[in-house]
Chain A
Amino acid sequence: MISHDNHGLRLAVRYAVLVLVAIIFVFPLLFMVMSSLKPDHQLLVDTGSLRAFLPVGDISFDNYAAAFQRAPISTFVINSVIVTGVTVMLSLAICSLSAFSFVFLRWSGRNLLLSILLATLIVPFETIAIPLLLLVSKLPWLGLDGLEQGWLNSYHVQILPFAADALTIFLFVQYFKDLPSELVEAARVEGASWFQIYLKIIMPLAGPVVATAAILRFLFMYNQYLWPLMVVQSDEYRPVMVGLQYFFQLDTPWGEVMAYLSLITIPVLGFYLMLQRAFIASIASTGVKG
């Protein structure tokens, strides 16, 4: 009986902690969504009390309508979807292929190169932002209208510098190393080429790491701010985060800011929860063992 009570108590404590953590994470979101529904004067007054988290007072979607008036939001969203989607795809393909070569192919210098690659993890992006900007502003690009000089104001300037990265390669390398090497050897003996082994043996077993890498890459790209701010000057290619600038003027319309933020975060959150479920399912079903 005593142990039973103990168990109940422990469960209660555990739930209390979880609820507390959940509240800490949920409240800012709640604040954002609720504020987006209130006119500015009420929003600022409510901030001082718990009312900030409740849908009370003068509730309407006016802020959303105004936000759409102020900025070409749909263009920003489309831009973000294109840039983020293409980068995630490219990054998954390139990083998994290079990790495959690091782990399974025998070429001299691969360990050294991997170490150098991993060493770049400690270099913050801010350090290379300026040199990178100078570089991309001069690089030629063969587009639909022929050869152009400089990559500024385009999708590819936002995509290509992030199409491969050390962290994602590292994730794939770690995962591939843990796969039984006999699977690759068996496939080789059975006659598969390296690319067939990659495509038919390794990638089908890489579900969990693909999901993880996709989530991390997606969040990183979707939240990009500094780089697009530096390389994109026209609305035509601007992503959502940079679009936030439209709302920071002399007299900041906080309700509209909250409406805009709700618009660009809530779908992502939903998407993330969906992926997370698939992610857990993929781990459970792969069951790689001897």
Chain B
Amino acid sequence: MATLSMSGLTKRFGDIEVIRGVDIDIADGEFVVFVGPSGCGKSTLLRMIAGLEDISGGELRIDDHLVNDMQPRDRGIAMVFQTYAIFPHMSVRENLGFGLTIAKVPKAEKEQRVMQAARILQMEHLLDRRPSQLSGGQRQRVAIGRAIVREPSVFLFDEPLSNLDAALRMDMRMEIGKLHEQLGATMIYVTHDQVEAMTLADRIVVIKDGIVQQVGAPMELYHQPANRFVAGFIGSPSMNFLPVEVQSVDHDSALVASTSLDAVRVPMRVEPLKSGDQALLGLRPQYLVPTNEQDAGQLHGTLSLVERLGSETVVDVNTRENTRLVAAIADDRTFETGTEIAFTFDPNRAHLFSAAGDGALNK
């Protein structure tokens, strides 16, 4: 088992810096998920940890050993690729045992470890098949099995489920969660599916443009996003951002209002604002509660779209200043598009962000 520590890690491809100073400490046995939009550098960071990509600057330590210049095979890691990367000319058994064959592990022990991995992943009956005779999910199992067999101290996953269909993805997600409990190994998992991130992670690392935006437990990111980017990235449907004007401030809260929003006092947690500033009020769709009486609500608009999903109803609302809001409503009430609607919300669950910039941490 292993701890992992990154300090000031950078990666340049030519003149372009794609990882720009990453500091993360990962505890032994922790399940850490890297999320971020496409091209933000998640895979690159993971590949740097694996040793497949040179490190341009900073330090990477595994169990307190500096491993910047160490070959992948000496790092005690195993990696599962998005495209599975199982060897097409070998049987499942040979694929699983490949690392042990290379390491010249005695035959009996190899056989036993391959069988054990096959048992954990319930694929004993597939051992003599070729990869071309396997389904996508089974191939993914082989890739995971190959990682397990070597008993690495750190598992690296790069979007392992993104090539699977939705149902299979859910199954495999749960299996990976179980596997983590069973093996207790340190795992780093890259995804841009936030359900995977929220359900699997002990801690989530949100990355944008090669910069870590926030590191924290899933619920921490959900309830206390460090900036507007994280607030918008975590949660589904995404947080609404309503343009508002700051009317007055005291030390930790601000009074904000807009054409469609009656003045409301909300906590000022992220950035300091001053009276007269343009700001964005972050409201999660789940926390918008429709009211029956028009006048009672704080937030007013017109229903433009209603989607009934069964467990909840998602409605699109055009506010009076023509901003689009989304509300996720848990009860079965029926709504008519085109009608006026008003919402209330708990000001303590609202987030206030400056309207300046792109909302993310930049260097």
A residues with CB within 8 A of B: 180, 182-183, 185-192, 196, 201, 204-205, 286-290
Contact = CB atoms under 8 A, between A and B. Distances in A.
A190 B96 CA distance: 10
Contacts of A289: 88, 132
A182 B89 contact: no
Contact of B98 (A182, A185, A190, A288): A190
Contact of A190 (B51, B84, B132, B150): B150
B52 A189 contact: yes
A189 B84 contact: no
A204 B88 CA distance: 10
A186 B79 contact: yes
B87 interface: yes
A196 B146 CA distance: 17
B83 interface: yes
A155 to B, nearest CB: 35
A110 to B, nearest CB: 16
A201 to B, nearest CB: 6
A103 to B, nearest CB: 15
Contacts of B71: 188
Contact of B73 (A190, A288, A290): A190
7 contacts: A182-B85, A187-B98, A188-B72, A189-B52, A190-B102, A192-B98, A205-B88
Contacts of A186: 79, 81, 85-87, 146
B167 interface: no
Given A189-B50, A189-B72, A180 B89 contact: no
B73 A287 contact: no
Contacts of B103: 191
B13 to A, nearest CB: 13
A183 B85 contact: yes
B28 to A, nearest CB: 20
Nearest to A203: B89
Leading 10 A-B pairs by shortest Cβ distance: A182-B85, A191-B73, A186-B85, A190-B99, A204-B89, A290-B83, A191-B102, A182-B81, A189-B79, A189-B72
Interface in B38-95: 50-52, 71-73, 77-79, 81-89
A182 B83 contact: yes
A204 B91 CA distance: 13
A189 B80 CA distance: 10
Contact of A188 (B73, B83, B84, B86): B73
A189 B73 contact: yes
A187 B81 CA distance: 12
B189 to A, nearest CB: 16
B85 A180 contact: yes
A182 B77 CA distance: 16
Nearest to B143: A186
B52 A290 contact: no
Nearest to B84: A290
A201 B99 CA distance: 12
B81 A286 contact: no
A190 B146 contact: yes
Given A191-B99, A192-B73, 17 more contacts: A182-B84, A183-B87, A185-B79, A186-B79, A186-B86, A188-B51, A188-B71, A189-B50, A189-B51, A190-B78, A190-B98, A191-B73, A191-B102, A191-B150, A286-B88, A287-B132, A290-B84
A205 B89 contact: yes
A146 B83 CA distance: 56
B102 A196 contact: yes
A189 B163 CA distance: 21
Contacts of B51: 188-189
Contacts of B132: 287, 289
A283 to B, nearest CB: 13
A178 B1 CA distance: 37
A289 B86 CA distance: 10
Contacts of B52: 185, 188-189
